[in-house]
Amino acid sequence: MESSNSDTVTQLTALMRAKTGDAQATAHTLETLPGHAGFSFSFVLERPDAPARKLVLRLAPPGVKIAGPADIVRQAKIMAGLRDTPVPVPRVLWYGDEPGFFGRPYSVVEFLEGVKLSDAPFAPDKMKTLARRGIAMLAALHAVDWESRRDAFGEPLSLAEELTRLDYLLDRPTLDPQVVARAPELRERLRASIPATPRIGCVHGDFQWANVLFNDDRPIALIDWEIASIGPTLIDLGWVSFFADPASWIEVGEPRVRPLTPDEILSAYAEAAAFAVKPDEVRWFRAFAGYRFGVITCFNLMLHRRGKRDDPHWEEIALSAPRMFERGLELLD
């Protein structure tokens, strides 16, 4: 690992010299950051005639198809395209896939000193206030003009296409039938009741409190754009509401941090949104979120048990999967 990090520092220094035009620029103090969709590191950029800067390097995983979560350049373009909007994102400095550096796509962005509500760093009342401001930020994202950002985000995805993509994960004989439970039943109910004209916009895809950085007063960055898309914006609201709903989970170990209830999330979103929000439609998207995460859980549990991707955390999450599907059916009743 030390050798690998040493190679990365050497390549990173070469990149910094090329991008800054400073032959004396150096990269050092490389530290691994958490994340599953790529390799993330913080580092310090040192130059003789400029203050030292802490930055973040993202690399695509080696040997994988550059698509979806591994498409680091796409994520950088998405963030760069949001810099002139009310949605705070890390400033993108450089990105590319030139073979002379890492041999795979990369991006370099500013490092932001922030905290996550998922770490419960504030008193409950403060958490609620900040969470409401985070939901207002989500409404601001959904109000951003998406037509001009199609080159980065891609073409719009319909709800039918979203459901079909999940079929690829669910329709496998290697899944544990006890964990799959009522997933097929929920899938059919969702298909039969798809909202006819959902509002389309920029969708983060994984909006939850682990992906928002706050200072003491407000959100300062929405991060982790791996599965962002153009599509029905209530996908994001359903997702954050799903994680906020204790009725979707079998609690084991430490309880999940939930600064707002699903009803409070809806209230904050409707108050901040510059467009109408239909509560009945939100219930469908909450059910869809439970189905989506439940199917992802079934698939990742299968990969773990078959030794394809070792991650025992999915064993714990899988205890809740049957409940996720049941809760989705309740929300559709």
pLDDT tens digits, 73-101: 999 999 999 999 999 999 999 999 988 89
Of all residues in the chain, what percent carry a pLDDT higher than 70?
98
Residues 194-210 pLDDT 10s: 999 999 999 999 999 99
35 pLDDT band, cuts 50/70/90, is low
pLDDT at 36 over 60: no
Element (H, E) at 263: helix 262-272
Helix axes 183-192, 159-170, angle to 10 degrees: 160
Contact 221, 136 (CB under 8 A): no
Max intra-chain CA distance, the chain: 65
What's residue 304's pLDDT? 97
Give the predicted TM-score (pTM) of the model.
0.93
Report all structural domains of the chain as residue ranges with CATH numbers, in order of start: 2-110 (3.30.200.20), 125-332 (3.90.1200.10)
What's residue 33's pLDDT? 87
Residues 229-258 pLDDT 10s: 999 999 999 999 999 999 999 988 778 899
Q: What does the alpha-carbon distance between residue 74 and residue 152 come to, in Å, rounded to a whole number? A: 6
What's the average model confidence in pLDDT over 126-130? 98
